[in-house]
Structure 1
């Protein structure tokens, strides 16, 4: 018992028994989340680690500077939202924290092709064709006009909507069989969306035998030897 008390007193005297665990303070750091963005996509950016004074976050890869706010009044959690540039590339974002410049990198990805559907892709002449997409991920920003194709009797207008930005419409296939391309353009990407479809049947000019031309008439031509008489049996009379 005496040994136990003595050991405890020695530990307290050295200041070891109740010393708090020391933790290294987190250095301020700037982040862009996610760090791989679609053109025009909304992202988050902020500074962790604590700042008494701080600036907006700026970058050529942002559509505009992003202002930060202390979430819940906590200056260890500074955050803001912005939109990415429409120009793909590798970019650097910068901000200041208590006079120190912080930097981080991120990527704006190339414009994706629109994701949309066309149905059916094989149709009878004069049959109905439908198409659609959504304004969030499929056709960002929405369509700039109808779907067009030389194989349509009229442009396909989007007349129906749905949840999550869905839109669709219908048109009639043309009357001439063949393979055609339908084209969709979206507001937030310069890349044009295309889908091929087929109007069933035999295209004009296919399956028709070419017209036969009469064979040339071969005529026999008599060749008269040079110097020979033009009449008679080809021999000269005796003198």
Structure 2
């Protein structure tokens, strides 16, 4: 019998305000640190919650674009992007220091995440920011992405991430949020989607194909409709399937 282990993560501190309800059902969180959302107050509140629930803490830096919630590609120089990302992560590190907590991982947000998955120049900026920190930290990345390859080349530990509430294209990119079938907001469909990725190591795409994928952490977005219900159901069903959540 195979022993399956999975991490459930959620993007938090983005203004939804449902973190107290989410925390009991996730094992790691990605805290918005000022680029697309969040400030020192929200970071502090969520770090306290994460500590209370023994949830691993990650930084969720973004293009510095609150107007578009970090979900649009930004025309920004590599130097300016490096400075912004470093500043965002440092702000969270300062909160963690005062709360006696540890940074476990980094996960880029939105357009930055999607662009770094295929654009070497942008991916290298993220890699250089992590290298400049001089501390052990995981990087949450998509399977078979440019940023995953660069991280391994630079001896940065990676965790392959997949999405519980998003549909995929055949190239393992996420279906655009502009498309009506981008989100998976039905619990039954979401459970089937996740179990296929975890147990079969494949993802059913919108084209109807099953494409190989590795998922070590599964993301549930806190702003997906019925997010709490979906995450709670996912947690319950994974335990029923004898999949360890950690």
Give TM-score scaled by structure 2 length: 0.20
Structure with more helix by fraction: 2
Give TM-score scaled by structure 1 length: 0.20
Bigger RCO of structures 1 and 2 (CA < 8 A, at least 6 apart): 2
